[in-house]
Structure 1
């Protein structure tokens, strides 16, 4: 029977959480099962007087057979600040992870966050856990250290962030890192929204100018040109094909006699207008 099953059956400690079982499975490799039985009883019967964290190291007092409690320490190899930077970045990309951790639940896929960064949140072997006890027992883990394993399992059940503290980063530091990344993301989104708004405004201005250009021409401004021209570069001559506007427009939809009268009149008008336009255009001194 595995230690996880022993824990589930009669230890009185939390039973269901997969991350607690992962932690306790480390003890399965320990061959002194009776020693583990005593360690489990110590944890259950209140022999663990205190558990405190000093950075990433666990410091505990366990009451044994002597009047003075034994001093126990336990730690894992902490991750570097750079490692934690990648981990927190990965956690921030999935908000559900933070929400589940804050609710006291270890996300099912949390290990993927660490393995993708070449790390493992849980130790692989019992030897990966560094532990010491002031008792005379030379075995490691002794029953006092084993009692701390079981007590930590209970703590993990209540707060999964504790396993992260063993790896060198406290709950407050992790949450602070997540909040800072969230602020950066919000600032980036606001900056992007501002850039999009500026682009839209510029587009609207261009479209407005384009719309203005496509508006019907004012007949009073038809012959006006707002830009300056070098007179020496401008050559104004009558049409070489002698065609008038009437020729371009084609036949006037009137009876023959009426159309002839209108056409003759308009030809005189266009001829006069053309002559006047040439005179105006050739006034170089204005």
Structure 2
């Protein structure tokens, strides 16, 4: 079932579709939805941030069309990813295939908008003879892209000029660098002086410490003290255990299934941890 047949598609798909649904030629939109539903969109591929597609119309040969919006500059993307890296929830939700509800704040904080404001912000052309734009072929591709966004929200980022792999690699690098800087900041004292201070701190603690309530803690943890991030590498316990002792074909099928299960569990665990109130 496609997303334009569902009452409540994901919010980012709805926001994308709302742009086209604002088009005043409603009959044209109905034909576009019908084309998308009946499989007239033969292919959709990306050439960088540009979408290239083939749509079968009434002519024997399919029509060729393209669709694009203005990509962000390299500098813009550096600011965007740096803002994302400051909040672990963005990495966790995107890795789980979810678009964070406040993702637009990341872009508006940098003077940008992830979504086009109007249809005029979307450049499109089709080889069909229809002088109107968008024609039903472009509209069908537009609806199909909504399906792609539902399955993989990173497709929307690719329209703005940055692939899924680039974004996740940058997020991992920035969060890893932040962790390394925190670790480095705790060891800036000269070795001898630091050892003396550590010894003195331990002696002071030993004098003042009452061991009975040592493991008791009644106050909530400050959220700034806890940093939850997705794994830096997509490794699971299966990678540690090694080869599954089954026949080759069975082992491959079982491994693929378990890989998907472990990845899903890992992603949901991170999201669950980030969403806890306590």
Q: Under a length normalisation based on structure 1, what TM-score does the superposition of the two structures give?
A: 0.66
- Which of 26, 30, 34 is 1:37 aligned to? 30
Distance 1:54 1:13 in 2: 29
1:113 aligns with 2:91: no
SS in 1 for 2:188: helix
Q: Residue 13 of structure 1 contacts residue 154 of structure 1 at CA under 8 Å; is this kept in 2?
A: no
- After TM superposition, give the deviation of residue 176 of structure 1 in Å: 1.1
Aligned to 2:195: 201
Distance 1:188 1:77 in 2: 35
Larger relative contact order, structure 1 or 2 (CA cutoff 8 Å, min sep 6): 2
Equivalences for residues 72-221 of structure 1 within 5 A: 72-195=65-188, 198=191, 200-203=194-197
Aligned length: 200
Aligned to 2:244: none
- After TM superposition, give the deviation of residue 205 of structure 1 in Å: 7.7
1:12 aligns with 2:5: yes
Provide structure 2 residue ranges, at least 5 long, that are not aligned to the other structure: 202-278
Distance 1:65 1:35 in 2: 15
Distance 1:154 1:145 in 2: 15
Provide structure 1 residue ranges, at least 5 long, that are not aligned to the other structure: 1-6, 208-286
Q: Residue 13 of structure 2 contacts residue 149 of structure 2 at CA under 8 Å; is this kept in 1?
A: yes
Q: Under a length normalisation based on structure 2, what TM-score does the superposition of the two structures give?
A: 0.68
Aligned to 1:261: none
Distance 1:176 1:205 in 2: 41
- Change in CA separation of 1:140 and 1:188 when aligned onto 2, cut-off 3 Å: same
RMSD: 2.2
Q: Residue 14 of structure 1 contacts residue 154 of structure 1 at CA under 8 Å; is this kept in 2?
A: no
SS in 2 for 1:106: coil
Distance 1:197 1:20 in 2: 55
Distance 1:125 1:185 in 2: 38
Aligned to 2:39: 46
- After TM superposition, give the deviation of residue 21 of structure 1 in Å: 0.7
Distance 1:137 1:196 in 2: 72
